[in-house]
Structure 1
């Protein structure tokens, strides 16, 4: 979760190089052959965990995530946040052994310390690019894919949470450095605005667009509203799921401790906030519809939370892959 970046890691971002190169509320996606199944996950870098835990048993957690991908039928698009370089290498090894080797690890050469994004996909990659967001640490990573629902522009990102005191503006938050931003808005609003603009600048009218990640803000915030105003829908709510209930953890995606292996081995460790989301925007050619959380089309993925029940007999005793719960969306054209 980590709303504000710890200063020790901001330095790592200074060397970051830019890498080149309205939906309807309907259940019943046509499935993987006619649609696209998407998973988003902040997989936890583990740098705050006990030193002896080896980043909260990162190898075991990656192994368990691979098992979950296979069990769900190998979704075509998997966006990941909080990827350390060692974890990226583990992902490279993982995808050789799961889903008949169909995944490629996009952005694997981009390193900003402990918080890079990755995208695993079985689809054809047409282009990829990474931009730095305001604040000097966070990034947004965009890929254009060829899919069953037409051109698909997908951006995965990990953004800062809103500060306790709203920022009064951001002098550097404007083009050309930060497209889509205004100096009248705060630095963290600029992270959202720039990511939306970045996603909109490619693909044309025929492209379906997806912005997903750990936004560190919930549905009550202005930054969440910026996506809705730009024509995106929140897939979780659009598919008929209820909002997160903090008291019970139902439909929540974040809140478990991120600094101890104990939490990841505790079946009773629950979440308390919904800050991980998949926003989707229909195209001129595709009015996106969503399968329900119950996976009514039986393709292994519904729209909602992804593996939100504790694992039994996981690798190394792991119950939860991360302090976050992954989210999923099953898209097709209505």
Structure 2
């Protein structure tokens, strides 16, 4: 008789964080603040990465300063293990992936509505492939219904009928981006969507992912709730949008939404186990640094995942 082949196991820590671009928008950062002291805030990001060295990092709101600062800031973090995946399209709100895993393929993903985008990658491990989409879906800043094609501003992809909320369309496009990658390169052991999805679990937008086979890692791992009784699981937002630093200099910010998510879908006969899930707090800084109490307006999400596949 033949002995069964040993199982293949992928263990990785995932971090998702909206780093706040710091643009001079209403409620944003004053032009003379260098994108709300971007160098200081990126240095704090590097410190946070050094604390646990997550194998996979999804960053959103990569603005003009972050795309300059982040690669240098992480160059020596975790023994210089991070590879930076980013494709500059001149959009002031993009996504970046940092990873210590081997990179097979990566590319920019254009979603309906400016500035909504993503960046996807196929990563390789000895136990199987990991596909990931880092993304930032439509927010209240620009989330109109998909148009009928007469207005280029509201044009959506062909899979989204006129009248569909653009954020729901973005969710469908996100699912399709990873499905297309799997169709081209073969199914991964696990596919991940990690980012600021601007909607909470149970919403129509997140239900698009659930119907496609994704699960909410935070819930599966027993993460703290985000409700009227407890804000321990809430990720957005701190800072009240006031003053030259957009409220990042004001203590007492209380997030009341859980919109920063890691969603996972395993392939074939693989199984997913979620270990520790935790919130990466972006403050309060005590004492403040360059006047900052918070180094972003979102808290991050950390999740330990184990994917087990037949040998």
**TM-score normalised by the chain length of structure 1:** 0.77
Do the aligned residues in 1 keep the contact of 2:215 with 2:265 (CA within 8 Å)?
yes
Do the aligned residues in 2 keep the contact of 1:159 with 1:191 (CA within 8 Å)?
yes
Where does 1:1-334 land on structure 2 (aligned, <5 Å)?
A: 34-47=10-23, 48-72=28-52, 74-107=53-86, 109-147=87-125, 149-161=127-139, 167=145, 170-172=147-149, 178=157, 180-183=159-162, 185-203=164-182, 204-246=186-228, 249-256=231-238, 257-258=240-241, 260=243, 261=245, 263-292=247-276, 303-307=277-281, 310-313=284-287, 315-316=289-290, 318-334=292-308
Provide Cα deviations, 1:238-282, integer angstroms capped at 9, x if missing partner.
Answer: 101243125753211112234543733444222111111111001
Q: CA deviation at 1:98?
A: 1.4
Larger-Rg structure: 2
Structure 1: runs of 5 or more not aligned = 1-32, 293-302
Q: Which has the higher contact order (CA 8 A, sep 6+)?
A: 1
Q: CA deviation at 1:207?
A: 3.1
Q: CA deviation at 1:117?
A: 0.7
1:270–1:229: structure 2 CA closer, same or farther, 3 Å change rule? same
CA RMSD of aligned residues (A): 2.7
1:34–1:141: structure 2 CA closer, same or farther, 3 Å change rule? closer
Q: CA deviation at 1:40?
A: 0.5
Q: How many residues align?
A: 286
Structure 2: runs of 5 or more not aligned = 1-8
Do the aligned residues in 1 keep the contact of 2:38 with 2:65 (CA within 8 Å)?
no
Provide Cα deviations, 1:8-33, integer angstroms capped at 9, x if missing partner.
Answer: xxxxxxxxxxxxxxxxxxxxxxxxx9
Q: Secondary structure at the match of 2:106?
A: strand
Q: Secondary structure at the match of 1:140?
A: strand
**TM-score normalised by the chain length of structure 2:** 0.83
Q: Distance in 2 between matches of 1:161 and 1:252?
A: 17
Higher strand share: 2
